Every structure is written in C-alpha cells, then in structure tokens.
Amino acid sequence: MPDTHTPQKNHLLAALSAEVQERIFPFLELAPMPLGKVLYESGAAEHHVYFPTDSIISLLYVMENGASAETAVVGDEGMVGIALFMGGESTTSRALVQSAGFAYRLPGKRFKDEVSRHGDLLFLMLRYSQALITQMAQTAVCNRHHSIDQQLCRWLLLSLDRLSVNQLVMTQELIANMLGVRREGVTDAAGRLQKEGVIEYHRGRITVLDRAKLEQLSCECYAVVKAETDRLLPRVQPGSVQ
Amino acid sequence: MPDTHTPQKNHLLAALSAEVQERIFPFLELAPMPLGKVLYESGAAEHHVYFPTDSIISLLYVMENGASAETAVVGDEGMVGIALFMGGESTTSRALVQSAGFAYRLPGKRFKDEVSRHGDLLFLMLRYSQALITQMAQTAVCNRHHSIDQQLCRWLLLSLDRLSVNQLVMTQELIANMLGVRREGVTDAAGRLQKEGVIEYHRGRITVLDRAKLEQLSCECYAVVKAETDRLLPRVQPGSVQ
DNA sequence: TTGAGTCTGTACGCTATCGAACAGATGACT
DNA sequence: AGTCATCTGTTCGATAGCGTACAGACTCAA
C-alpha cells in the first residue's frame, strides 16, 4: 500500500534539512521492491540510489562458482548506492531484495549533484558509509569465528530491526544463500531455535516469538553493529541533520 | 633510513595536487611504525591519520574473548583513519602495525580542515574508502568460503603488494592472529607451500620464491580486491588527482 | 481431487579445522 | 659455550559444517 509511504519513513531522508528535502523530494520515485529483484549487478554502473522504507536489501558477493555471501544488509536506516557519491560508480557486490516492500529511488546524477551542493547531505552519507563499513567488518569476523546458530540469530535480529512486524517472509534456502552456508545447516539451526520456542517456522514464514532470547543466543556481532549504527546515526528530529 | 622517505612514497599523498601538497606537507610528520604498535584502539578517538610508506597496518577486530580477525590491510596505497573524515571519529577496529616501517602522520583536525576545503582531496579519500570497503567485503566472503591454504596465499599477496622486497618478517603466530585461525593451521598451510617451493620459511621470515604460483593457488578474492583497488585508484602522475 | 512443485526435515560419511599437548630447532643473550 | 625463550613441526581425538540423497509435508493450480 504505497499510499502510506512517505520519504520520511527512510531515516536518512527524514534527517535531511528542509532545504535539501525541498530540492530532492520532487525527484524521488516510489518503487516496488519484489523479493529477489536485483538492483545492482557486480561491476555494472549504478543509475539510481535507493532509500528503502519497508523493504530490506542484501549486499552480497557472488563468487565465480556461483556461491554467495552477504556482506551487509540495508533497510530503512540506510541507502543502496554509496558507490555513486564515493566516485566508483559501481561495486563488486550485487544488491538483491531480501524482503519485499518499497523504496524511494533517485537518479544517480541528481543525487551526486545534490551531494556536491550540500555539505550536510555529504556528511550524513559519510556517517552512514561508516556504519556500513562496520557492518561489513563485523560480517567478516562473524564468518570466521561464530557458529551457524549464532549467525542465524544475528541475521534474524538485523532483519527484525528493519521490519515493523515480527514475521519474516524468507525460505531457509534464501537465508542459506545470505549466510553463505548450506540450506541444511539453516534447517538444523532453525530447528533448534524452534525447539527452544524462540521462533516459529512455517513454509517460508518465520515468526519471532522471543526476541530477548534471540539476542542472548546471538554472538556479539549483532550488538556491535547495532551500537555503532546508533552512535553514527542517532534518530534525529525529522527534517534536521542535527 | 628515514632520509630516503618522502611523502610521495604514499600513493594517496602523491596523487594530491600541488596546491594541496603545499598546504599539507609542512604538517606531515614521519613516524616510525614498529611491529605490533597499536595506532588506534577500538572505540577510541583517532587523533592522527597515517599514510604508510613502507609499513603495513592491519585493521582488525578483537572479540570479547580476545580472539581477533583482520578485516583489511593498509600500506602505501592507502591511509589509516578514514573515520575522521567520515565523521565517526572512532571505529570498532584496532589498527596494528603488521610490518614495521614508517608512515607520515597528520593531526586529525588539520586533515579534516583540508578535506573540507578541497574537493579533490575529499574525492580521493572517498575513492580510497570504497576500495577499503571492497577489501572488507571480500574478507568476509573469503572467511566464509575458502580454505586456510587459499587465505594464506591471498594474505601473502596482499602483503607482498605493499612491500618492496619479497621477504616478510612475520611469525606464523601473527599470521594466525590476522587470519583468525590457529597457529597450527598456518604451520600446516605454510608447510605445504614450502614443499611446493612457493615460499621459504625461516623463523619469522618468509621469502616468496614463486609469486605466480602463489597467485594461482590463491582464491579469487585477491584478484578481486586488486582489480578494484587499481580501478578506483589508478597510479597517476604524482601531483595530480587526475 | 489430484498432481506438481516447493519447502522442510533427516540421515550418512567425509573433511577441514579446532583444541590441547608436546618435541625439536633456532637464535639471542650472558 | 651454555642457557633460555621463541618459533616451528607433529600428533591425537573431537566437532562443525559440507555434499549428497531422499522422504514427508504443505500449497497451489488444474
């Protein structure tokens, strides 16, 4: 229901000053984000930037043999397409819709123009970029040191934070692709969580029943990323960049 | 031998326009980088930025239990301290000297002033940041999918690219800390490489004998990071930002 | 209602890596 | 020359995750 969408649902857009909002908002286009849609392909020039509202976008790297691993996830707290203002125009990642919903998109050229015109906008983008960097670094650490069980908890929490409901539409196969593990590994881990009463799994629908337990079972990586994101991008009064 | 050091040995400093060089270089201080020195600690404010010449700096995350994993490595192609212009002032990583040498350092405040004054400088920093992001993302992928053998090859190549000689001063214990694996795992992998005649290991000194073979045995991750870094930061005529 | 397709659960052997313990080799220092 | 700390090599059992295979359960559409 696009009617209920407003640009302010995206935290970055909401944080912009009235002046920047006035210049940018007229060019925003509300775009549906169906599950599985590919926004960017590795190495391809990015023509738009995307500000998710209720959708979740995965940044993942696809190896030569087709296996993949998620390096970061983007929801209403962020944006997809930082390569545009970073100057690289493309990245080695694929951006994939992980949870269906909507996002506002803006032509890349206009975005770049506005970034170079407004210091505020640039500084906000930079802080967000740092939060994204933290997430990638932590993903690397997590991939090295933590069990699938812990990583599943982390991943569920990251997704949950970007949704307004406690239910995810997501098959175990897809989660496995994100985490870069086998589907069976996810089945095992999810089975254990279900037995503990933390989640309820039902054919592509996960309902989180006990978020506190989930945080407790997760590795430290979730908390580190959350704390750093909150530090770098505190929720501000809509319409100001604080 | 600091006499032979010039700021231009760092590629980023070399790429700056004459104007920016004139403003910045007087404030650069050549600082020794002894093995094991900690430049930044996780969460602590960063007071200087560092431009390595012949030293190599590891960015690594240290977990609550003390185990660690490297997320990126910085040499003469880059700088340490991007959080300063990103606006976060600190990061969740520790910056540690991985290979002794020198670096030019600049007070953080001055760096920030110059970045805000010169668009060129900012754009260069942004492109470098994107290269760093690529490296972190690829580290995450590599940690998930590749064997210790492959990762050791990748790591040796990344180090080699940042040194002017084909010898690294580095114990297996330290490499293990960087890769986030056991020391014995590194011993095994290095033993195999030695048997193949690719490297020669001798009490904290690794000599690379056959770089081509090393590249062949490495996973794709090294090539991906190298290609993207070269794309984002092509070697330019010293003194221009192209 | 029935069948096809999709999703989840389970089993099995295999391998890489871990954790712990220890032995030998080397180089630095006295 | 002898001592000691450090570095490297090796072993052993334990285990997490992989690859493969397949069965049952659910959904949707014909």
Same-domain status, B113 and B190: no
| Percentage above 90 pLDDT, chain A | 51
- In this structure, is residue A109 part of a structural domain? yes
- In this structure, is residue A236 part of a structural domain? no
Structural domain that includes position B163: 147-218
Output DSSP code: residue A5.
Answer: -
| pLDDT at A139 (0 to 100) | 94
Among A142, A167, A192, where does a domain finish? A142
Specify the CATH number for the domain of residue A168. Answer: 1.10.10.10
Band of residue A101 on the pLDDT scale cut at 50, 70, 90: confident
Contact B86, B47 (CB under 8 A): no
Would the pLDDT of B62 be above 70?
yes
The region, left, alpha or beta by phi > 0 then psi within -120 to 50, assigned to residue A66 is left
| pLDDT at B185 (0 to 100) | 95
Would the pLDDT of A180 be above 70?
yes
Mean pLDDT of chain A: 89
- In this structure, is residue B199 part of a structural domain? yes
Q: pLDDT tens, B150-209?
A: 999 999 999 999 888 899 989 999 999 999 999 999 999 999 999 999 999 988 899 999
Same-domain status, B13 and B83: yes
| pLDDT at B237 (0 to 100) | 55
Band of residue B3 on the pLDDT scale cut at 50, 70, 90: low
Rounded mean pLDDT of A3-30? 89
Q: How far apart are CA A3 and CA A151, in angstroms?
A: 36
- In this structure, is residue A111 part of a structural domain? yes
Same-domain status, B16 and B114: yes
Same-domain status, B152 and B138: no
Would the pLDDT of B1 be above 70?
no
Distance B202 CA to C25 C1' (A): 11
Output DSSP code: residue B4.
Answer: G
B182 interfaces chain A, CB cutoff of 8 Å: no
A59 interfaces chain B, CB cutoff of 8 Å: yes
Same-domain status, B29 and B48: yes
Sheet with A199-202, side-by-side order of all strands: A167-169, A205-208, A199-202
Tokens matching residue B125: 């920093």
Indicate if CB(A184) is under 7 A from strand D. yes
Would the pLDDT of A133 be above 60?
yes
> What is the residue whose two structure tokens read 């070399």?
B14
| pLDDT at A1 (0 to 100) | 44
Rounded mean pLDDT of B46-71? 88
Contact B122, B113 (CB under 8 A): no
Select from B65, B92, B225 the residue whose CB has the most chain A CBs within 10 Å, as the one to mutate to test that interface. Answer: B92
B144 interfaces chain A, CB cutoff of 8 Å: yes
Q: pLDDT tens, A20-37?
A: 899 999 999 999 998 889
Q: How far apart are CA A95 and CA A116, in angstroms?
A: 25
Same-domain status, A17 and A45: yes
Neighboring chain A residues of B86 at a CB cutoff of 8 Å = 126-127, 129-130, 133
- In this structure, is residue A235 part of a structural domain? no
- In this structure, is residue B38 part of a structural domain? yes
| pLDDT at A242 (0 to 100) | 41
Rounded mean pLDDT of A9-27? 90
Distance B58 CA to D20 C1' (A): 40
Helix, strand, coil % in chain A, rounded to nearest 5? 50, 20, 30
Same-domain status, A17 and A123: yes
Specify the CATH number for the domain of residue A79. Answer: 2.60.120.10
| pTM for this prediction | 0.89
Distance B39 CA to D5 C1' (A): 27
Among A114, A142, A170, where does a domain finish? A142
| pLDDT at B115 (0 to 100) | 86
Indicate if CB(B146) is under 7 A from strand D. no
| CB pair distance less than 8 Å for B91 and A134 | yes
Query: Distance of CA A111 to CAs A33, B126, B154, Å?
Result: 20, 16, 36
| pLDDT at B30 (0 to 100) | 93
Among B92, B115, B142, where does a domain finish? B142
Same-domain status, A26 and A137: yes
- In this structure, is residue A230 part of a structural domain? no
Locate the chain B residue with the closest alpha carbon to A85: B126
Select from A130, A138, A241 the residue whose CB has the most chain B CBs within 10 Å, as the one to mutate to test that interface. Answer: A130
Same-domain status, B151 and B132: no
Would the pLDDT of B4 be above 80?
no
Between strands A167-169 and A205-208, the pairing is antiparallel
Neighboring chain B residues of A147 at a CB cutoff of 8 Å = none
| Percentage above 70 pLDDT, chain A | 95
Q: pLDDT tens, B102-158?
A: 899 988 898 889 888 888 888 888 989 988 999 999 999 999 999 999 999 999 999
Distance A148 CA to D16 C1' (A): 9
H or E segment and range at residue B62 = strand B56-62
Same-domain status, A106 and A155: no
CB-based contacts of A190-199 (< 8 A; 24+ apart in sequence): A190/A152, A192/A149, A193/A149, A193/A152, A193/A153, A193/A217, A199/A156
- If one counts the domains in chain A, the total is 2
Nearest to B11 by CA among B110, B79, B85: B79
B93 interfaces chain A, CB cutoff of 8 Å: yes
Nearest to A146 by CA among B108, B113, B61, B59: B61
